[in-house]
Amino acid sequence: MIASSPPKTFILKIKRSLGEGKPSHWESFEVPIRPSMNIISALQYVAANPVTTDGKNVEPVVWDAGCLEEVCGACTMVINGHVRQSCSCLVAENLQDGNTITLEPMSKFPVVRDLWVDRQRMFDNLKKIHGWVPIDGTHDLGAGPTETQEEQEQRYAYSRCMTCGCCLEACPQFTKDNDFKGAQVFAQIEYFNSHATGKELAAERLDVIMEPGGITDCGNSQNCVKVCPKELPLLDAIASLGRKTTVHAVKRFFSGKK
Amino acid sequence: MADHPRVIVVGGGLAGLAATVRVAEAGVPVDLFSMVPVKRSHSVCAQGGINACNTVARQQGYSEWQHMDETLLGGDFLNHQPPVFEMTHWAPKIIDLLDRMGVPFNRTKEGFRDLRLFGGSIFKRTHFAGASTGQQLLYALDEQTRRYEAEGKVNKHEFWEFLWPVIDDNGHCKGIVAQDMRTMEMKALRADAVVMATGGCGMLYGKSTMSVICTGGAASRCYQAGAWLGNPEMIQVHPTAIPGEDKCRLMSESARGEGGRVWVPRKKGDDRKPADIPEDERWYFLEEKYPKYGNLVPRDIATREIFFVCQDGYGISGGNMVYLDITHLPMETKNKLAAILEIYEKFTGDDPRFTPMKIFPAVHYSMGGLYSTYTAVDDARGMVSGAHNNMMTNIPGLYAFGEVNYAYHGATRLGANALLSCIFDGLFCGLSVANYVRDGVAHEQSAGQAPDSLFQKYVDQEQAKVERLIANDGQNNPYEIWREMGEEMIASATVVKTEDRLNQAYTKINELKEQFKSIKLSDTGTWTNQNLSFSRAVGDMLKYAETILAGSIARKESRGSHYRLDYPKRIDDPFHKTTLVKYNAAEDKPEITWEDIPLPLVPLRDRSYGKVEAAAEKDEKKEEATSV
């Protein structure tokens, strides 16, 4: 096989708009390829040189970014049709038709501008499910509960969720207009409910996902687990909550609560 | 406006969130401002762990006192001792609290919190959650903040950028001006105290291990508004990072704490694959030079050794890289490091479990920052709990917490002490903030009583700046100015510094300041204008960069991270002092004065970390002395 020399530039094709409900259009930018270049460095190039392939000067592309090492979740977008973080997406490995990469904002959240979306719904949901351990206060009251290595490993797996929204973008059940909670919330409930003190609010959390938009609305497409960049055990969480909500419903019935 | 005391916290990393939780717990409502959803703050990037004396280490002879001593020695005695005493003695309580908040700290077989070794100590005193400890701690505080938010005690303003502190005629801070980064709405908000918890300034070096939001812009704006800076020249260059196009990604010290070894081929330019280079042809230069601490010498020392080894031509293939090798470690240990090893593999394509990592130093942390004060207890063993001025800047009502605060780390920060200092500031000094606003002692007028005209004046000032930037029709690209600033700062003010190079950089930064006056924005719109926000920050970064250079030039000695080739020794007289930098607004330049650092607890001593050359020299001297 004859190795062809790698291309010197590539085309970054970006879906742009001025916000939710505003018309969108595509613009293309030619970007020089540098060794181990990622999408962020390509976007930085465009920010400094906002000229399209048609030679038109345009306003620089807007996108959300933070740590650039796939731990803050900010720079999530749809790249070549797949949702992922743009910092850990290397250009050389993702060129389509030889020299093009397409970028779109996530489709399940309102667009702020260009590639930047508003994921406030995810944080609001954490509030709804009482996403915290109800400690007595910050005063010195000694150590927390001990736990086994196995318990720690299980909780650690869930605690790496960076609220990026990949699982929700890929979920056929989760839409802009409905109130489905989605895998992010289910995983966090499992996380807090498996802590000795966090458990104190377990019933309240289960109540939230027994309402419309809760666990029974999950269509079991299992897309969420395939796209989670931190490989959270999302299906385990969904299965576990399915069982627990059933038990919880029975308990509620016999205690006379609705 | 109702006249209840209120507090503004700017920044939602560990320090900002810990402060928010503590102030809200004390019953004072908090407005929390952040450029990002607080859960995405830069603290997530901290990997290795958090230091505290613990039961196991204590039984081996370790103590809070020794933790303090290590922190002071690490900082080359540029840190104030009472705050460091207080911080290290609070550390065990902070770990307990985080544990109660549900942080998934790694566990031993028996279910206790596990520990790892970290730089600057020979005791295991670092608590960790995998290799994403910062992320785990931030999330725990984010959760507690959300709890107070749900109770209506905390009001978050996310995607808002801090622009300027509001300072009244008495010189007291009464609020801030901020701008919504989406709608571009600008407003002033009142508060009886403002806590700056805005982190480091890595972005002014172009590429660093820091997040894109760590511009130092907020600190620079406070400096221009009259807040003093302390030791801005003290910038930590982390020994092990993965060089990249857009940033340098941190490779945690925990890789060495768990047994990772740094080496280069003994033969210059050896092109063999690392696995093909036999053990006796590898140069483990840190272990050879520092038998006691080995790969875990403090960061400034490891960084310089790596830098000089590469300068001498021993870097991998003669370039600027050395190996960080964990391939020999058992799989169980490698699993503990999974979070950072995955990152390496994702960004380089090599699996570090089987191939040694290629790393090089990168700008990582600002020890210096906003100058702050405190009240020491009578015997100097700690700070007075709840004293109004703990970690308050020279401007009454304006506090500095976390990385932006210059107080704790002196000339070098020890690994796994940053998370500690951030949370400690929030929890311990948060009470000071609450007391200050409740007691109302220093207030001639509360923020609620201050006239509207005071706030409008500052909004007008910031609005005028925006209008100037947008109307500017110059020829200079702000991104190009930022790139040149970064290159200049990396070349002049990182691992090694010299008078000539620093002076050259100082001139260059002033040229860039001139060029900045005639920039042209590529976006002049009024909706989600990142171009405006970034360009405005570039102007402020230039002014902060100038203080780093001015401090580096003035400090004609070597101390901790500040290493002058032309003055390679520490010179306590006259430089065992804080570099105080004040902004001269009339001439738009920094002015330097010096402040004494009392040594009430630990006297000055040498900082050699048992380097063998140093030890050999001493032995020679001893022999000479005995033979005479």
- Residues B150-177: tens digit of each pLDDT: 999 999 999 999 999 999 999 999 999 9
Mean pLDDT, chain B, whole residue set: 94
Q: Does domain B453-572 sit in CATH 1.20.58.100?
A: yes
With a pLDDT cut of 70, the percent of chain B lying above it is 96
Q: How many CB atoms lie within 10 A of CB A41?
A: 22
B343 and A70 within 8 Å at the Cβ level: the answer is yes
B37 and A163 within 8 Å at the Cβ level: the answer is yes
CA atoms of B451 and B538, how far apart (whole Å): 32
Q: Tell me what pLDDT residue A36 has.
A: 83
Examine residue A166 and state whether it is found in any structural domain, yes or no. yes
pLDDT average, residue stretch B278-301: 95
User: B502-529: b or e for each residue (b if 16 or more CB lie within 10 Å)?
Assistant: beebbebbeebbebbeebebbbeeeebb
Query: Is residue B543 pLDDT above 50, yes or no?
Result: yes
Best residue in B22, B40, B250, B524 to probe A by mutation, most A CBs within 10 Å? B40
Do residues A156 and A235 both lie within one domain? yes
Query: Is residue A1 pLDDT above 70, yes or no?
Result: no
Confidence of residue B617 (pLDDT cuts 50, 70, 90): very low
Domain ranges for chain B = 7-234+367-450, 239-362, 453-572
A59 and B99 within 8 Å at the Cβ level: the answer is no
Confidence of residue B619 (pLDDT cuts 50, 70, 90): very low
Taking CB atoms and an 8 Å cutoff, what residues of chain A touch B212?
Answer: 65-66, 68
Total domains in the fold of chain A: 2
Q: Is pLDDT larger for residue B338 or for residue B281?
A: B281
Q: Tell me what pLDDT residue B440 has.
A: 79
ipTM: 0.96
Using alpha carbons, select from B181, B223, B218, B246 the residue that is nearest to residue B537: B218
Do residues A26 and A132 both lie within one domain? no
Pairing of strands A111-113, A100-104: unpaired
Do residues A130 and A99 both lie within one domain? no
Q: Both tokens of residue A139?
A: 């005063």
Examine residue A2 and state whether it is found in any structural domain, yes or no. no
Taking CB atoms and an 8 Å cutoff, what residues of chain A touch B149?
Answer: 127
Do residues A129 and A249 both lie within one domain? yes
pLDDT average, residue stretch B272-276: 94
CA atoms of A224 and A231, how far apart (whole Å): 10
Query: Is residue A253 pLDDT above 90, yes or no?
Result: no
Do residues A110 and A156 both lie within one domain? no
Query: Is residue B614 pLDDT above 70, yes or no?
Result: no
Q: Which of B252-266, B339-353, B537-551 has the lowest mean pLDDT?
A: B339-353
Query: Is residue B444 pLDDT above 80, yes or no?
Result: no
For residue B153, what are the CA distances in angstroms to B144, B195, B437? 12, 16, 16
Query: Is residue B242 pLDDT above 70, yes or no?
Result: yes
Is residue B413 among the annotated active site residues? no
Taking CB atoms and an 8 Å cutoff, what residues of chain B touch A147?
Answer: 107, 111
Would you call B205 exposed, middle or buried from its count of C-beta atoms within 10 A (0-12, 13-18, 19+)? Answer: buried
Asked whether the beta carbons of B323 and B310 are under 8 A apart, the reply is no
Edge-to-edge strands, sheet with A76-79? A24-32, A9-17, A100-104, A76-79, A82-85
Do residues A111 and A155 both lie within one domain? no
Confidence of residue B443 (pLDDT cuts 50, 70, 90): low
The domain spanning residue A171 has which CATH number? 1.10.1060.10
DSSP calls for B46-109: --S-EE---HHHHHTT--HHHHHHHHHHHTTT-S-HHHHHHHHHHHHHHHHHHHHTT----B-T
Q: Both tokens of residue B49?
A: 């762990």
Exactly one of B190, B249, B299, B536 is catalytic; name it.
Answer: B299
With a pLDDT cut of 90, the percent of chain B lying above it is 90
Do residues A47 and A98 both lie within one domain? yes
For chain B, how long is the longest CA-to-CA vector? 82
Q: Tell me what pLDDT residue B590 has.
A: 98
Q: Which of B183-197, B324-338, B453-467 has the lowest mean pLDDT?
A: B324-338
Q: Given 3.30.1360.120, 3.50.50.60, 3.20.20.70, 3.10.129.10, which CATH number is that of B7-234+367-450? A: 3.50.50.60
- Residues B465-502: tens digit of each pLDDT: 999 999 999 999 999 999 999 999 999 999 999 999 99
pLDDT average, residue stretch B272-287: 96
Residues counted in chain B: 628
Examine residue A4 and state whether it is found in any structural domain, yes or no. no
Examine residue A226 and state whether it is found in any structural domain, yes or no. yes
Best residue in B34, B54, B107, B210 to probe A by mutation, most A CBs within 10 Å? B107
B40 and A67 within 8 Å at the Cβ level: the answer is yes
Do residues A96 and A24 both lie within one domain? yes
Do residues A48 and A26 both lie within one domain? yes
Q: Which residues contact A153 (CB under 8 A, 6 or more apart)?
A: none
Confidence of residue A35 (pLDDT cuts 50, 70, 90): confident
CA atoms of B607 and B163, how far apart (whole Å): 41
- Residues A98-156: tens digit of each pLDDT: 899 999 999 999 999 999 999 999 999 999 999 999 999 999 999 999 999 999 999 99
For residue A21, what are the domain limits?
9-117
pLDDT average, residue stretch B244-258: 91
Cα end-to-end span (Å), chain A: 70
With a pLDDT cut of 70, the percent of chain A lying above it is 97
CA atoms of A130 and A188, how far apart (whole Å): 10
Q: Tell me what pLDDT residue A3 has.
A: 52
DSSP structural state of residue B111: S
Taking CB atoms and an 8 Å cutoff, what residues of chain A touch B130?
Answer: 156, 160
Residue carrying structure tokens 């006796």: B280
CA atoms of B239 and B250, how far apart (whole Å): 9
A113 and B527 within 8 Å at the Cβ level: the answer is yes
Question: What CATH class does B239-362 carry?
Answer: alpha beta
CA atoms of A179 and A173, how far apart (whole Å): 10
Examine residue A188 and state whether it is found in any structural domain, yes or no. yes
A41 and B245 within 8 Å at the Cβ level: the answer is yes
- Residues A205-247: tens digit of each pLDDT: 999 999 999 999 999 999 999 999 999 999 999 999 999 999 9
B247 and A140 within 8 Å at the Cβ level: the answer is no
Q: Tell me what pLDDT residue A252 has.
A: 85
pLDDT average, residue stretch B194-219: 97
Examine residue A141 and state whether it is found in any structural domain, yes or no. no
A79 sits in which H/E element? strand A76-79
Examine residue A61 and state whether it is found in any structural domain, yes or no. yes
Closest residue of B to A140, CA-based? B93
Q: Tell me what pLDDT residue B336 has.
A: 86
A67 and B100 within 8 Å at the Cβ level: the answer is no
- Residues B8-56: tens digit of each pLDDT: 999 999 999 999 999 999 999 999 999 999 999 999 999 889 999 999 9
Q: How far is A159 from chain B (nearest CA, A)?
A: 7
Q: How far is A230 from chain B (nearest CA, A)?
A: 9
Closest residue of A to B141, CA-based? A132
The domain spanning residue A23 has which CATH number? 3.10.20.30
For residue B113, what are the CA distances in angstroms to A214, B128, B167, B278? 35, 8, 46, 38
Q: How far is B427 from chain A (nearest CA, A)?
A: 8
A51: β partners: A57
CA atoms of A56 and A16, how far apart (whole Å): 15
Q: What are phi and psi of B51, to 5 degrees?
A: -85, 140
Examine residue A186 and state whether it is found in any structural domain, yes or no. yes
Taking CB atoms and an 8 Å cutoff, what residues of chain B touch A126?
Answer: 143, 146
Taking CB atoms and an 8 Å cutoff, what residues of chain B touch A134?
Answer: 147
Confidence of residue B131 (pLDDT cuts 50, 70, 90): confident
Edge-to-edge strands, sheet with B50-51? B50-51, B126-127, B115-116
Asked whether the beta carbons of B170 and B149 are under 8 A apart, the reply is no
Asked whether the beta carbons of B40 and A74 are under 8 A apart, the reply is yes
Query: Is residue B618 pLDDT above 90, yes or no?
Result: no
B275: β partners: none
Helical H segments across B411-477, by residue range:
418-424, 430-439, 452-471
Query: Within 13 A of B342's CA, how many CA atoms are on the CB side?
Result: 16
Q: What are phi and psi of B22, to 5 degrees?
A: -70, -40
Q: Both tokens of residue B334?
A: 């490698």
Pairing of strands A9-17, A24-32: antiparallel
Q: Tell me what pLDDT residue B441 has.
A: 62
